Amino acid sequence: MTETDMDWYGPDAATFGDRVAAARESAGMSQSQLARRIGVKKSTLTAWEQDLSEPRANKLSMLAGLLNVSMAWLLTGEGDDLTAPVEDTLSADIAAMARELRALREDLRAQAERAGRLEKTLRRLAASQEDVE
């Protein structure tokens, strides 16, 4: 995937919290304003944006409505609710750091999958070793 066809808010590039923050900023609301309108504490909204927790279905529905995006887009990034940020307004240094962060995120995801496969293999080998003894 090239820089020009990058799906900024898709599941491979952004988290639920990233999409909430982007939609809130696009709607021109502060965390305090949105939290008050949804009926939660600012710390709760902050936790959602930092991916420390997720809202219940009724709050998710309210969130989507207030931010004028679909619930499916908030959860998965699929659909056409927000357009990618305009990169030509970013300085070259910021754009380079954003590309590096996306590459790092992809590398970390691949390493986590590799670690999971190795752990599964190790458990299988340990179990077969116990069967032999």
Residue in the structure block whose two tokens are 């340990």 = 126
Residue ranges of alpha helices (H) inside the chain are 16-26, 31-38, 42-49, 57-67, 71-76, 92-132
pLDDT at 7 over 60: no
Contact 74, 20 (CB under 8 A): yes
pTM: 0.55
Q: Which CATH entry fits the domain spanning 1-82: 3.60.150.10, 1.10.260.40, 1.10.357.10, 3.65.10.10? A: 1.10.260.40
Q: What is the pLDDT of residues 89-99, one digit of tens each?
A: 556 777 778 77
pLDDT band at 19, cuts 50/70/90? confident
Contact 97, 20 (CB under 8 A): no
pLDDT band at 4, cuts 50/70/90? very low
Q: What is the mean pLDDT of residues 1-10?
A: 47
**Residue 4 carries which DSSP code?**
T
Cβ burial, residue 54 (10 Å; 0-12/13-18/19+): middle
Neighbours of 67 (CB within 10 A): 24
Which tokens go with 71? 């619930």
Q: What is the pLDDT of residues 97-123, one digit of tens each?
A: 877 888 888 888 889 999 999 999 999
